[in-house]
């Protein structure tokens, strides 16, 4: 990851192992692998491996992403910080779609769901790279929806608000939200997080996002493509339709 400031715990192999256990506990099979979404060849290899194992890929969730927290405005942002967040959060989504797309087109069926953000519809201080990437994800999804439409493949985005995960629950983000405090706590930051939402809650639970993904992945969602589903405690009420 270089020296770009990603100051929260990233997923580890143990997280993959836990996911495998949870899937197998439901009586299903699971293929877990480590791959860099910035590497298109690696994703092509992973798709080939999954296709050999399961026969086909019907649903793809492009969810990999990072939030860099340099705490600097755009005119002070380093090229490395910009490049890293764009490469992972935007190019990584393109690479995922590019890797799974041909098989879905061939089979004339597929569901692709990409993770954008409420920051993909607005702006804010010190988050230019992240916001630009998430705006880009929305544009990419809308274009891909056109390209895949003749083949029975839908492409949509979800735009979460603050979600109670390590991406926001860390010292760096708390200091960004509460620069008036030297060592802000979770409770200290909660009020600042709440101001980003309209419904007066500071953050959502991960399961609230998962339910939206499941809906877009379902057969009953075949008529939905090129849309952005906001799960952001009403924050999208502040932006244009």
62: β partners: 114
3-state secondary structure labels for all residues of 156-204: EEEEECCECCCCCCCHHHHHHHCCCCCCCCHHHHHHHHHHHCCCCCCCE
Nearest to 89 by CA among 54, 127, 58, 50: 127
Q: Given 8, 109, 130, 151, which residue is catalytic?
A: 130
Give catalytic status of residue 109 as yes or no.
no
H-run or E-run covering 51: helix 40-54
Q: How far is CA 132 from CA 70, 83, 141, 180, in A?
A: 15, 11, 14, 27
Residue with tokens 């705490």: 71
The whole-angstrom separation of Cα 17 and Cα 145 is: 33
Which phi and psi angles does 133 have, rounded to 5°? -65, -45
CB-CB contact of 192 with 78 (8 Å): no
Find out whether 71 and 130 touch, Cβ atoms under 8 Å. no
61, two tokens: 């969730």
Q: Are 225 and 152 in contact (CB under 8 A)?
A: no
Q: Could you list the active site residues?
A: 130
């Amino acid at each position: 990851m270089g020296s770009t400031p990603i100051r929260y715990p990233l997923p580890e192999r143990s997280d993959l192992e836990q996911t495998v256990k949870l899937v197998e506990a439901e009586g299903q099979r699971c293929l877990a692998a480590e791959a860099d979404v910035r590497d298109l060849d690696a994703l092509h290899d992973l798709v080939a491996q999954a296709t050999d194992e399961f026969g086909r890929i019907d649903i793809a969730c492009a969810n990999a992403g990072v939030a860099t927290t340099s705490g600097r405005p755009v005119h002070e942002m380093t090229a490395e910080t910009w490049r890293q967040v764009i490469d992972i959060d935007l190019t990584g989504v393109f690479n995922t779609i590019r890797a799974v797309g041909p098989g879905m087109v061939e089979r004339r069926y597929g569901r692709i769901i990409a993770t954008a953000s409420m920051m993909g519809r607005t702006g804010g201080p010190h988050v230019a790279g992240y916001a630009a990437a998430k705006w880009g994800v929305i544009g990419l999804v809308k274009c891909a929806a056109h390209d895949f439409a003749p083949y029975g493949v839908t492409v949509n985005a979800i735009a979460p608000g603050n979600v109670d995960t390590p991406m926001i629950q860390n010292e760096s983000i708390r200091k960004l939200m509460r620069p008036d405090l030297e060592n802000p706590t979770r409770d200290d930051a909660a009020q600042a997080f709440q101001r980003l939402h309209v419904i007066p809650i500071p953050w959502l639970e991960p399961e609230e996002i998962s339910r939206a993904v499941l809906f877009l992945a379902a057969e009953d969602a075949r008529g939905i493509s090129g849309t952005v589903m906001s799960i952001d405690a009403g924050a999208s009420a502040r932006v244009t339709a």
